[in-house]
Amino acid sequence: MTPHAASEILETLCRQAPVIPVLVIEDAAHARPLAEALVEGGLPVLEVTLRTPAALEAIREMTQVAGATVGAGTLITPEDVEAAQGAGARFGVSPGATPMLLDAARAGALPLLPGAATATEAMALLERGFSVQKFFPAEAAGGVAALRALGAPLPRIRFCPTGGIGPANAADYLALPNTLCVGGSWVAPGAVVAAGDWAGITALARAAAGLGR
């Protein structure tokens, strides 16, 4: 899969809802009801980070939920790409980008949302054909002001900013013309997930789905 084709797929996914939940799942038993609650609330595109032992099994469970498009986040190595695909991930997300990781995603035909934090990194990815990128870590890298500034010289790039984004600032990012959607973990707080409060998750998702509209 070419980077251009990957970016086309990611743009379509990013336009489905203003927020992509960034999920750190400790217990795979929570995966399916969590995905159902998020989809019911209007957030169908889900990123499960590969930060816990339960992550790959969680992806397998979530892919069984009707209406959910499940991807794997925190892809760092070619082995991560292979594992994510084996679990059924439909797309991948990385905090940055290395040649080995980009090559592995292309060889495996996994649509990748690669991370960039600076103009140089964004330009290097655009040079390879990635016109849809993750701006990470968004708040630490300068926040809304930095992303707005990148938009002037790099109008061809669209971003999904992630990192430090929550209900208090998500709308500010979504108002930028170079933002397709945002990524955030606030729609699935660990304590709420652990308590099995799926109605609470749906309510958070529904509020997030209404942002920027």
Distance CA 17, CA 36 (A): 15
Which structure tokens are listed for 123? Answer: 């330009």
Phi, psi (5° rounding) for residue 108?
A: -90, 0
The conformation of residue 166, written as its DSSP 8-state character, comes to: -
Instruction: Please say if 139 is a catalytic residue.
Output: no
Catalytic residue among 8, 26, 134, 139: 134
24's tokens: 């750190």
DSSP letter at 179 equals B
**Active-site pick, 8, 11, 40, 47:** 47
Burial 61-94 (b: 16+ CB within 10 A, else e): bbbebeebbbbbbbbeebebbebbbebebbbbbb
Closest Cα partner for 34 from 200, 165, 183, 162? 200
Q: Judge contact between 34 and 188, C-beta under 8 A.
A: yes
3-state SS class at 117: coil
Contact 110, 10 (CB under 8 A): no
Reply yes or no on whether 127 is catalytic: no
Question: Would you name the residues annotated as active-site residues?
Answer: 47, 134
